[in-house]
Structure 1
């Protein structure tokens, strides 16, 4: 990234600036995920404790010039990706999903032992592979709506042609959100809103 120091951004026109900005966003996202994946390694090694810092996030905040809150969030994301979401981590490093999408998935998906077992089950239709496949096609906000916080209940409702989800994703979404037959009689694309499945009692 040292080339940026010698790059005169003021000479770029609108379209050129958009291309450069998009590329920088992709590189920054991929580098951000690679970084957080290294944090558990540093933490487990324990070398940071030689600095006298009272915790790893505190050491990280000083070493990387972050707020302690951001440092804690990065450490938590790195551990979650390593321990529970390997496919998400790989997709994010490859640039297939963004670091923000990875954060959303890490926050909302592995929220219980049951959810973690489901995500890791290669035979389950709603495992981590499905989450990553859908996230590749969605924005961050759509990913946040798609990933529920409770265990999914399969609902074999056919999808409407052209919608963002596929049939196996019905286990993660309500029939109304997939078919567009909710009380307002509109599709998810027209309203920008999708229903969440009910949380388990």
Structure 2
């Protein structure tokens, strides 16, 4: 019996999601290039995006950019560029491909979204080392490149149980980020806006 070819079913939401993503990247580009008012923060995938959104930052996730580099099969072109300035081949390929692409002045965003020439320029970088330690070094590289503040959270690792002490530690680190975010955004921290941001997250 001949093998039947499977017909891929088109997902109805695809076109809508493409437009959502285009709007998102083009808005960041407009803010980054001064064509639209706003502030831009870079954030790691595990946050603290809710805190940034409470200050009305538009948020860019460099790990998504690293994933784009992998999906477009460009990562291997850029990883050696980062290796050449001292980044180990043994660390996160998202970091090294992203840094390498930046050093070469290239991004897959340009092909996906005509008119975008580079990753958006941050006003502040906020990391959380919960998923890996490399993100701190990654963001510190860009902090030096762009001359902007780098703030972050280094939560306790490998916990069997989360204690009140652990929670208090992370809360204190988040609170310590607030003065920098107030200064960069020009806005005072509003607990209700933060609660709403968490609710929507």
TM over 0.5: no
With normalisation by structure 2, the TM-score equals: 0.28
Bigger proportion of residues as helix: 1
Q: What is the TM-score of this pair, normalised by structure 1?
A: 0.28
Identify which of structures 1 and 2 has the higher relative contact order when contacts are C-alpha pairs closer than 8 Å and 6+ apart. 2
Bigger CA radius of gyration: 1
